[in-house]
Amino acid sequence: MRGDDGMWHIVEAKRDDGVSTTFQIRELDPKKHLDRIFVVEMPYPVHELSRLPDAGAYRKLQRFEEQWLVPACRDLGWELVGSKAEDGSFFLYMYGATDPEQLVLRLAPFDVGLGFFDDKDPQWEEYATLRELLDQARALPGYDHEPWPAQEKARAKAKVTAKAGAKAKKSGKSKKKTATGSRPPKKPKRRTQAK
C-alpha cells in the first residue's frame, strides 16, 4: 500500500462542523517539474456518526491502491502524496506532469462512483497545506514522531487545529471528471478542529 517509497504519517483531526477527518501524508520534497495535481474521490458507505470508513471500505481502498492506483502512477509518472478520509469519501492526491486523462482511463473502470479533479499547481500549494497540517501535529505534545513506512499499519495519532480539505483548487479552468461525465464541485473547504 502507498507506493514503493517514502514515509507516511497519519493525522487525525476534526473539522469545525464536528466531522472527523483522517489524513495520510507522505513526507517528500516537492518535485516542481510535476506541476499538475490530480485528486481521485472514492465514496464509501457511512454507517457511524463519525462518517469515517469501516474495515470494508479500507479493504476496498487498499485493493484500489495496490492493484490500480500505484501501478498507474508508476507507469504514467505520477507521485502519490497524500489522502484524506472524510464525510463519506476518500480523496487521494497525486502530482504529475502529463495529461491526467490517461490516469482517468486507467482508474475509472474500478468503480463508476469515482470522481476525478485536476488543476495546475506548479508550486505544490495543496501539498504545502498537507505538510502544514503535519507540522502542526508534530508540534503538539504526545505526537509520535516516528513515521510509518509504506507497508506498516502503525498509526501516529495527533490532535490538530489546521486547515483541512486539501482538495485540488477549483478555478474556472479546473476540471472534475467522473466515469459517467462531469459533476459540479461538491463542497467548499472547511477548517479542522482539535479532536
- Domain coordinates in residue numbering, the chain: 7-193
The amino acid occupying position 159 is K
At 146 the pLDDT is 59
At 106 the pLDDT is 97
At 52 the pLDDT is 83
At 145 the pLDDT is 57
Q: How far apart are CA 98 and CA 24, in angstroms?
A: 24
Residue 140 clears pLDDT 70, i.e. is over it: yes
Q: Identify whether the C-beta of residue 38 lies closer than 8 Å to the C-beta of residue 120.
A: no
- The residue whose grid cell reads 495543496 is 126
At 62 the pLDDT is 95
Residue 3 clears pLDDT 80, i.e. is over it: no
> Roughly how many angstroms between the first and final C-alpha of the chain, as a whole number?
26
When pLDDT is averaged across residues 51-74 and rounded to a whole number, the result is 94
**Mean per-residue pLDDT over the chain, rounded:** 77
**146 CB-contact burial (10 Å; exposed 0-12 / middle 13-18 / buried 19+):** exposed
When pLDDT is averaged across residues 135-155 and rounded to a whole number, the result is 62
At 7 the pLDDT is 87
Contacts made by residues 141-146, CB under 8 angstroms, sequence distance 24+: none
**Which DSSP letter does residue 163 get?**
B
pTM of the complete model: 0.74
The amino acid occupying position 172 is G
Q: How far apart are CA 123 and CA 143, in angstroms?
A: 28
